[in-house]
Homo-oligomer: A and B are copies of this chain.
Amino acid sequence: MKATIYDVAREAGVSIAAVSQVINGKGKISEERRQEIIRVMEMLHYQPSRIASALTGKKTYTIGLLVPDISNPFFAEIARAVEEQGHQLGYSLIICSTENKDERVERYISLLQQKSVDGIIIGTGIDNKKMLKPFLDNETPIAMIAREMPGLDVKTVIVDDYVGGRMAAEHLLALGHRRLAVLTENPKLSSSKERIRGFREGVELSGGELPDSRIKACGDELVKEGKRLAAQLLQCEDPPTAIFCCNDLLAIGTLQAAKQLGMKVPSDLSVIGFDNTILASVTDPPLTTVAQPTERMGRTAVDRLIGQLDKAYDGELRTVMQPNLVVRSSTAAPL
């Protein structure tokens, strides 16, 4: 027989009002007591009618995560951290992936809202902030992760992409590289822009330069496109001795291009990635890469989002984390 709110209250030894407060996320109730009531609900398989709750504007204890490409391990690792932290705080997670198709962004944000999530974490670059307007108007709390939307007043958790780009440049310059090139994903993304700006400034501060012709922007299929464009760069008249790839998937494409052209990494070509996903540690050779604190970013985005839901946190709008350079075997002094 289906458990009722009465069964939960009796089993937990609390009032029906207390159970109701837990269900609706309202009223004052200690965290310990809340957890105990949730435990009893789970034990009894008690399910409040959340669709009905949604219509009356109550909490559903669900958060949404929108990512551009779930098959990019960076976002899969973000999703894992978000799920784990959400779980710790009593929230379930539903994930939507736009598969790098811009036209699906709006549809999926809208879908998440229709599914009555309490808040949405967005890891997808959004070109046009008008797209978010309906959701902001509707007061669905939003947090951005790994991407920034300048001019929009939403909680944002990012790595310092500029500093990451600088780190990559300084590492390659210190090894003695002067002929440098960059592969980036969509250059409109805030993260891409900042990584390139940091890299370029690092180069310029050392007296070098990075002409625009040495920066190639890839389409959506990052490994394949990275391979194609790296091959172009490596076959031009004055080929680079080192390539900074704005994420690990592009770096893998670059390793594949070098291999196909019979070039050895790192002796013929240095390659540096960004993200430090699981891929970076398994490639041949293992990738030097700028690491993002992926797990910490995922957890923090959840905290910031839920802080808004609970109106408990009124502090920083942007949380900027420090990247760090992980040196493996894909970079060395040029021959």
With the chains together, A223 CA to B95 CA distance in Å? 24
Query: Is A36 among interface residues, defined by CB-CB distance under 8 A?
Result: no
Query: Is A3 among interface residues, defined by CB-CB distance under 8 A?
Result: no
Measured between C-beta atoms, what is the minimum distance from A328 to chain B in Å? 11
Query: Is A284 among interface residues, defined by CB-CB distance under 8 A?
Result: yes
Give the residue among A47, A97, A255, A278 with the most B Cβ atoms within 10 A: A97
Within the complex, which residue of B76, B104, B255 is in contact with A70, where a contact is CB–CB below 8 Å?
B76
Tell me the A residues contacting B by CB distance below 8 Å. Answer: 42, 45, 47, 50-52, 54-55, 60, 62, 69-71, 73, 76-77, 79-80, 83-84, 87, 92-97, 99, 104, 106-108, 110-112, 114-116, 223, 252, 255, 278-279, 282-286
Please tell me if the beta carbons of B71 and A80 are within 8 angstroms of each other in the complex: yes
Interface SS of A by simple majority: helix
With the chains together, A213 CA to B70 CA distance in Å? 37
Give the residue among A50, A52, A92, A106 with the most B Cβ atoms within 10 A: A92
Please tell me if the beta carbons of B55 and A70 are within 8 angstroms of each other in the complex: no
Measured between C-beta atoms, what is the minimum distance from A299 to chain B in Å? 13
Q: Which 9 A-B pairs have the closest CB atoms?
A: A284-B284, A95-B95, A71-B76, A71-B80, A115-B115, A94-B94, A50-B114, A282-B283, A92-B111
Neighbouring B residues of A73 by C-beta, 8 Å: 71, 73, 76
**Sample of 4 further A-B pairs with CB below 8 A, known A51-B55, A283-B283:** A51-B54, A71-B80, A71-B278, A284-B284
What residue of chain B has the Cβ atom nearest to residue A54's Cβ? B51
Known A-B contacts A282-B282, A284-B284, A285-B284; the reply to A110 vs B70 at CB < 8 A is no
Please tell me if the beta carbons of B110 and A47 are within 8 angstroms of each other in the complex: yes
Can you name 13 A-B pairs with beta carbons within 8 Å?
A51-B55, A62-B115, A70-B76, A71-B73, A71-B278, A73-B76, A80-B97, A94-B94, A94-B112, A94-B115, A252-B282, A278-B279, A284-B284
